[in-house]
Amino acid sequence: MSTATNEAPGNDALNARWRGALMDNYGTPRVPITHGEGARLWDADGKEYLDFLGGIAVNSLGTGHPAVVRAVSDQIALLGHVSNLFVAEPPVALAERLLTLAGRPGRVYFANSGAEAVEAAFKIGRLTGRRHMVATEGGFHGRTMGALALTGQPAKQDGFHPLPADVTHVPFGDIEALRAAVTTETALVIVEPIQGENGVVVPPDGYLAEVRALTRATGTLLVLDEVQTGIGRTGHWFAGQAQGVEADVITLAKGLGAGLPIGATLAFGEAAELLTPGKHGSTFGGNPVSCAAALAVLDTIESEGLLERVKAAGERLRDGVWNLGHPLVDRVRGAGLLLGIVLTEPLAAQVQRAAQQAGFLVNAATPEVVRLAPPLIIGDAEVDALLAALPRILDDADASAAAS
Ligand code: PMP
């Protein structure tokens, strides 16, 4: 029987259908979002939200940015896909642009997601001839098996062993622990400049530079997983670059494609030469439409001065939340527009729900940390709207916890 209908289905009806049709790996109910404009989204009941989550740091230009719409529609009309036996202009142009932004010669492998970008980095690591890899506790690198082996969250690995072997996890931000783990047999060290999924955890100043020095000394590849922090999110093209750290491999995804699926693995020096013909591949990787969208993102970040905008909006948001002086707020951490509100109690899920009720989308990254990752185009008025609503949202979260 067809479920098509001319009536607007509404949140409950959509959730009932989805419960029957989609795998429940994300849990239900979920808010059915029907459309958006800029940093605003609407659900199937017609309720409007200000989006402080950005599809989890994906919708860098919000919804419906004219540059993306134009680039995507022009490209799909011209050439929507070509097999990797051939090559099209957009992936070449995008690779050139990304390497220019990185400021160094190198080579790019295109995939379709963050996990796949990491998977390619994993394979590059193995192709050094060394097996051992070091990653960080709490780090998140994706759900495919290689990326999952690097992910330092045992609960996410549960049920999937055996994973690829020879991965050591060390506490994030602890250079001594890393020194003890990394040897001249270590293929790669992978770190996020800021741990996003783990609750926007910022390492101590100088940590990345020390990781760089250590990996250089042992001939180990340094992989910076910038899937969440890259492409303007922290007010810089790359978060590592902002600290003067030149990784051997950089993984990107999320904000790169303005919502179109794309992942990129940038490799420099010897690491750029290891994926030789036949070693890796992907049917959709380098898709011209995704690459055209990404080029539009890069153009727009430049033409609209969004790196500066991110710094200014990030500061306004961060200081604004802190200056509320709300007793539930312990700290605000992060960089640019990747911020974590660390709560004094594990009420992030309640805050997420209360915010949603009040018309704001945020995310409980961990039980204690509310993550904010709005589109890079977020305006001062939109930031101020959240700041004005936040005391009440935090009070409501506290009250709902007390009542339950
Ligand atoms: N690496 C990091 C740092 C991430 O934040 C994520 C996604 N949260 C991934 C990898 C995996 O990306 P994807 O979900 O696109 O596979």
- Whether 166 is catalytic is no
* Any domain includes 183: yes
Q: What is the pLDDT of residues 11-29, one digit of tens each?
A: 888 888 888 889 989 886 7
Same domain, 83 and 224: yes
Ligand 1 centroid distance, CA of 250 (Å): 13
Last residue of a domain, one of 303, 337, 366: 303
Q: Is the pLDDT of residue 323 over 90?
A: yes
Ligand 1, closest atom to CA 195?
Answer: 3
pLDDT at 365: 97
Same domain, 159 and 123: yes
pLDDT at 3: 43
Ligand 1, closest atom to CA 147?
Answer: 10
Interface predicted TM-score (ipTM): 0.99
The number of beta carbons lying within 10 Å of the beta carbon of residue 227 is 30
Same domain, 348 and 360: yes
Same domain, 141 and 276: yes
pLDDT at 8: 63
* Cβ-contact 377, 306 below 8 angstroms: yes
337-343 mean pLDDT: 98
pLDDT at 87: 94
* Any domain includes 9: no
Same domain, 266 and 318: no
Same domain, 207 and 254: yes
Q: Is the pLDDT of residue 4 over 60?
A: no
Same domain, 138 and 207: yes
Helix ranges (DSSP H) in 343-379? 348-357
The sheet carrying 106-111 orders its strands as 106-111, 263-268, 249-252, 221-225, 186-191, 132-136, 167-170
* Any domain includes 24: no
* Any domain includes 12: no
* Any domain includes 3: no
176-203 mean pLDDT: 98
- Among residues 51, 225, 248, 398, which one is catalytic? 225
* Any domain includes 319: yes
Using pLDDT thresholds of 50, 70 and 90, give the confidence band for residue 401.
confident
Q: Which residues are part of a known binding site for N(2)-acetyl-L-ornithine?
A: 143, 282
The total of structural domains in the chain comes to 2
Question: Which of these, 65, 78, 112, 56, lies nearest to 265 by C-alpha position?
Answer: 112
Query: Residue 68 burial (CB < 10 Å; 0-12/13-18/19+)?
Result: buried
Residue 186 DSSP SS3: strand
Query: Residue 381 burial (CB < 10 Å; 0-12/13-18/19+)?
Result: exposed
- Among residues 140, 172, 268, 360, which one is catalytic? 140
Cα separation, 145 vs 147, whole angstroms: 6
Read off the CATH number of the domain in which 336 is found.
3.90.1150.10
pLDDT at 402: 87
Cα separation, 85 vs 175, whole angstroms: 44
Question: Which of these, 353, 313, 347, 357, lies nearest to 327 by C-alpha position?
Answer: 347
Last residue of a domain, one of 303, 328, 352: 303
Which range of residues forms the domain containing residue 352?
31-64+305-403
* Cβ-contact 111, 314 below 8 angstroms: no
With residue 294 as reference, give the H or E element that holds it: helix 288-303
Read off the CATH number of the domain in which 96 is found.
3.40.640.10
Same domain, 274 and 389: no
Using pLDDT thresholds of 50, 70 and 90, give the confidence band for residue 6.
very low
Structure-token pair, residue 79: 């050439």
* Any domain includes 311: yes
Q: Is the pLDDT of residue 5 over 50?
A: no
- Whether 140 is catalytic is yes
- Among residues 254, 268, 360, 398, which one is catalytic? 254
Same domain, 244 and 370: no
Same domain, 332 and 372: yes
pLDDT at 244: 95
Q: What is the pLDDT of residues 58-107, one digit of tens each?
A: 999 999 999 999 999 999 999 999 999 999 999 999 999 999 999 999 99
Same domain, 279 and 373: no
* Any domain includes 258: yes
Ligand 1 centroid distance, CA of 323 (Å): 31
Same domain, 175 and 320: no
Residue 168 DSSP SS3: strand
Ligand 1 centroid distance, CA of 222 (Å): 18
Residues with CB under 6 A from ligand 1: 113-115, 118, 140-142, 192, 196-197, 225, 227-228, 253
Ligand 1 centroid distance, CA of 228 (Å): 7
Last residue of a domain, one of 272, 303, 334: 303
pLDDT at 253: 98
On average, the pLDDT of the chain sits at: 96
**Quick one: residue 29, left, alpha or beta (phi over 0 = left, psi -120 to 50 = alpha)?**
beta
